[in-house]
Amino acid sequence: MEKEVNVQLKDGLHAKKAADFVAKSSQYASDVFIIKGSLRVNAKSLLGLTSAAIRKGQTVTLQSEGKDEEEALRDLGQFLSGVDE
């Protein structure tokens, strides 16, 4: 499954927010990836996320596959949208 999300986190997805996102992604059994342009990174990898340099206002695609994929996409999409801030 895939879901496009416009990132609305104040400082984008780096440092503390990236670590929070990795922790949240790791709660799901499903494989979760973030796609930015031609770059596809494991959402459970802090190094991968920080190397993607995802900023506020950018649109990324969340991709998930597994038994809890729908829940993962919903919750992680809300996180990136800034709902939890």
List 41's β-bridge partners, or say none: 34
What does the angle CA 78 – CA 56 – CA 3 come to, to the nearest 5 degrees?
40
In this predicted structure, what is the pLDDT of residue 83? 77
In a domain, residue 85? The reply is: no
Q: 40: domain CATH number?
A: 3.30.1340.10
pTM: 0.93
In this predicted structure, what is the pLDDT of residue 85? 64
Residue 84, pLDDT above cutoff 80: no
Q: How many domains would you assign to the chain?
A: 1
Helix (H, G, I), strand (E, B) or coil at 20: helix
In this predicted structure, what is the pLDDT of residue 25? 98
Residues belonging to the active site: 14
Q: Are 36 and 60 in contact (CB under 8 A)?
A: yes
The 10s digit of each residue's pLDDT in 3-52 is: 999 999 999 998 899 999 999 999 999 999 999 999 999 999 999 999 99
What is the residue range of 56's domain? 2-80
